[in-house]
Structure 1
Amino acid sequence: MGKIRLTRRGVLSLLPLAAVGPARGETPLGVPGLYAADPLTALALRGFDPVSYRLGSTPQAGVEAHEFAWSGLVWRFASAANRGAFARAPEAYAPRLGGLDPEGVAAGRLVEADPLVAALRDDRLYLFRDAERRARADTTLIDAAEARWPILRPDAAIGG
């Protein structure tokens, strides 16, 4: 009888079937892209430190030694101090709109964003799909996205 072999891709395709709750790499309710999560690792912001966006001009990569689980994802930090700040107030440091692109949210769509294309507006972190969308993001667009988000967000159907 022949042997059955699974490739790495084959094994990975079976993982969601074995999971109870969100599979690693999926965000709450299985919506891809929330908090710019890496689909294979479940790392929020693809491993960038959310606190570092407020400390310098470019975000810093987080390290495995400073991880924190929040909102169904793993968040990494460049330092223990940054991890502690986030743990005390995650909503203050996590990107607004679930880390999705504000232009897409304003238009009623869940559009994934790039964690390296970010901006602070009114002391809130927003991520954008690309630099052109970030350049177009004025107060009117951000306000429209914020107004639409409570209806559009994936957990709105369950009262979250």
Structure 2
Amino acid sequence: MKHIGLTCLCIVVVWSVPAQADEINTGYFGNVAIEGYDTVAYFTEKRAVKGSEKIQSEWLGATWQFASEENRRLFDASPLDYAPQYGGLCSEGVAYHEMTVNIEPEVWQIIDGKLYLSAGASFEDLAANRPKAEANWPEVHAELQK
């Protein structure tokens, strides 16, 4: 690869955990995980819920927003239980060796107690592509670390 495109450069710069990584995707601009959606609510309310700028935590260099103090407390006690897989990158993208940073917080799925996000794939695609994403994650993660 002779040159790194702007997209990849932005991913490395702003991308800041989990199949687990050690950084969180915050998109191209800003430093807020999951575009401000409450990661705990995916588990407790079984739906995508926008967090509040007034209820936040810092973890792995990213700001996490929550809809309630209780959700923030749960996250702070055990962030790895609630953090999205592949550092918040699109699960389908990881399945195809891509680093898709822009996700759609409304397209998600919990599989085996883990949160998976997507840039727009269907729920069926998330489940079907998970084995490929799991296999590809070490290579994609290593690429992010360069």
TM tier relative to shorter chain: 0.7 to 0.9
Matched, 1:146 2:134: yes
1:129 is matched with 119
What RMSD in Å do the two structures reach over aligned CA positions?
2.5
Q: Alpha-carbon deviation of 1:154? A: 5.3
- Over residues 87-114 of structure 1, what are the superposed CA-to-partner deviations in whole Å (9 max), with x where a residue is unaligned? 1111110110111122211211111321
Aligned sequence identity (%): 30
How many residues are matched? Answer: 128
Q: Alpha-carbon deviation of 1:83? A: 0.6
Q: Alpha-carbon deviation of 1:38? A: 4.6
Q: How far apart are the structure 2 equivalents of 1:105 and 1:75? A: 22
For normalisation by structure 2, the TM-score amounts to 0.75
Q: How far apart are the structure 1 equivalents of 2:81 and 2:37? A: 16
Give the 5 Å matches for 1:98-113.
Answer: 98-112=87-101, 113=103
Q: Is the 8 A contact 2:55 2:69 kept in 1?
A: yes
Q: Alpha-carbon deviation of 1:155? A: 7.6
Cα 1:64–1:154 shift into 2, 3 Å: farther
Q: Is the 8 A contact 1:35 1:45 kept in 2?
A: no
User: Quick one: which of 72, 77, 80 aligns to 2:69?
Assistant: 80
Matched, 1:54 2:43: yes
Q: How far apart are the structure 2 equivalents of 1:116 and 1:103? A: 15
1:118 is matched with 108
1:15 is matched with none
Say which SS state the counterpart of residue 42 (structure 1) adopts. Answer: coil
The runs of at least 4 aligned residues of structure 1 exceeding 3 Å deviation read 154-158
Matched to 2:49, the amino acid is Q
Q: Is the 8 A contact 1:36 1:114 kept in 2?
A: no
Q: Between Structure 1 and Structure 2, whose CA radius of gyration is higher?
A: 1
Matched to 2:127, the amino acid is D
Matched to 1:119, the amino acid is Q
Q: How far apart are the structure 2 equivalents of 1:104 and 1:156? A: 13
Q: With CA pairs under 8 Å and 6+ residues apart, which has the higher RCO, 1 or 2?
A: 2
Q: Alpha-carbon deviation of 1:120? A: 0.7
For normalisation by structure 1, the TM-score amounts to 0.69
Q: Alpha-carbon deviation of 1:138? A: 2.9
Cα 1:43–1:157 shift into 2, 3 Å: closer
1:10 is matched with none
